[in-house]
Structure 1
Amino acid sequence: MNNTNILEKCLPDFGKELISEIENFGIIKEFPNNDFIVKQGQLIRYLPIVLEGNVKAYSEEDGMQFLLYFIRQGSSCIFSFVHLFNQNPIDFSAISEGKSTILLIPIDKAKEWLIRYPSFNNLIINEFQKHYNDLLHTTKQIVCYKLEERLWSYLQTKAKVSNTHELAISHQSIADDLGTTREVISRLIKKIELDKKVVQNHRKIKLLISDF
């Protein structure tokens, strides 16, 4: 599939003129699993949009990782939008989950297209609202939910964005995302396994119950 087809498939509302501009000025790049797309402390040079695959956005403080949300095909990152209009180092990281194809739009072009193209402006507004809701949900979980409930919600979200009921993910990786220890996660996964919500096999976690 050539670049035009990929862009038209993933960004169907953009129209031919904007797609042509993106082909001229944007960069389409493939990232292997666990590769940094943007890294905390850097300056933003591009607005990333996920064309294929999934991306995890998180922040890190005092050596502790804190999951913000997942970014799926056709979406970008709310924190990237904020940095369109300032030159401060970013306070988040985004890494690919599995092989991902990312569209990188230069910051100056992103600012220009916000004004020139309503479809591009709509994408920014819609993504801002969606990820704002994601952050509200994450905050509510931390404040109101027990860790076991947060873990179960995390596994369901992870399965949904990965489009699979079988997750190849380590207990340590889950612990990093939820800001706890591997031992605690191992204990809680064993508990929900006894509740017949998941089954573990060969370092994989299979969801037996899901909402998709």
Structure 2
Amino acid sequence: MEELLIDLYGGQFERELLQEIAAVGVFKNVPADTVLMDFGQYVKSMPLLLKGAIKIMREDQDGDELLLYFLEKGDTCAMTLSCCMGFTKSEIKAVTETDTQLIMVPVQHMESWLGKYKSWRGFVMDSYHDRLMEMLDAIDSIAFMNLEDRVMKLLAEKSQITGSKDVRNTHKEIAQELHTSRVVISRILKKLENEKRIALHRSHITLL
């Protein structure tokens, strides 16, 4: 596990910090579509993402979900940090988008490292900033983009994450992530196909 950490964070974290993470962290291989954290749970560990992608969802009063942003290799979740350090229940849901490798760091070590390692403090602050920017981007998309553009943006993000032009999500899954109905998404996808921007298949969508 220490070799994985060095490959990913070797130029960012002190050697002593990498050794501590390897000693106390719990390595996990998690398949796609696995719920890592759900609404209302207490969070006792923070994930360091080594490989794969995780989508972060928010829930409204009716129990419907909205995609906020994706976490990728090298990322962590600022909202997880807040829940851990404040001992509060999670207000987000984290689900693996692809097969994922991560290290779970217990909360008590996270706090002690803030005072012990300058690189860790910087990493935490950068994580807060990055997630805030992604939250603002999600708000801008909802406020200023039409649904057709939001669909294309989501498909492009998923394509970038997987490194493939084939997006293997159902119309229902895309509708849930964008907080709309499957019928509306199916109509938009058909329109995008007619415009030669995507190709629809039985099990996936291809970006053209």
Q: State the secondary structure of the residue aligned to 2:75.
A: coil
In structure 2, what is the Cα distance between the partners aligned to 1:131 and 1:163? 22
Query: How far off is 1:65 after superposition?
Result: 0.7
Amino acid at match of 2:70: F
Amino acid at match of 2:36: I
Q: Which residue in 1 is equivalent to 2:171? A: 171
Alignment of 1:105-184 (within 5 A): 105-184=105-184
- How does the TM-score come out when normalised to structure 2? 0.95
Query: How far off is 1:15 after superposition?
Result: 2.7
Deviation readout 1:155-182 (Å, 9 max, x if unpaired):
1111112222111111111000000011
Amino acid at match of 2:3: N
Where has structure 1 moved over 2 Å in runs of 4 or more?
A: none
Say yes or no: does 1:66 pair with 2:33: no
Q: Which residue in 1 is equivalent to 2:56? A: 57
Deviation readout 1:53-95 (Å, 9 max, x if unpaired):
1101101222201111000001011211212331211111101
Query: How far off is 1:33 after superposition?
Result: 1.5
How many pairs align? 206
Q: Which residue in 2 is equivalent to 1:78? A: 78
* Equivalent residue for 1:10, pick from 8, 11, 14: 8
Query: How far off is 1:186 after superposition?
Result: 0.5
Alignment of 1:95-110 (within 5 A): 95-110=95-110
Q: State the secondary structure of the residue aligned to 2:53.
A: strand
**Structure 2 residues not aligned, in runs of 5+:** none
Amino acid at match of 1:71: L
In structure 2, what is the Cα distance between the partners aligned to 1:14 and 1:202? 45
Please say if residues 199 and 207 of structure 1, whose CA atoms lie closer than 8 Å, have aligned partners that are also in contact: yes
Percent identity, aligned pairs only, is 27
Q: Which residue in 2 is equivalent to 1:33? A: 32
In structure 2, what is the Cα distance between the partners aligned to 1:144 and 1:182? 22
Q: State the secondary structure of the residue aligned to 1:98.
A: coil
CA RMSD between the two structures: 1.1
Please say if residues 98 and 162 of structure 2, whose CA atoms lie closer than 8 Å, have aligned partners that are also in contact: no
Please say if residues 199 and 205 of structure 2, whose CA atoms lie closer than 8 Å, have aligned partners that are also in contact: yes
Amino acid at match of 1:6: L
Amino acid at match of 2:37: V
- How does the TM-score come out when normalised to structure 1? 0.93
In structure 2, what is the Cα distance between the partners aligned to 1:203 and 1:187? 17
In structure 2, what is the Cα distance between the partners aligned to 1:46 and 1:108? 9
Please say if residues 84 and 111 of structure 1, whose CA atoms lie closer than 8 Å, have aligned partners that are also in contact: no
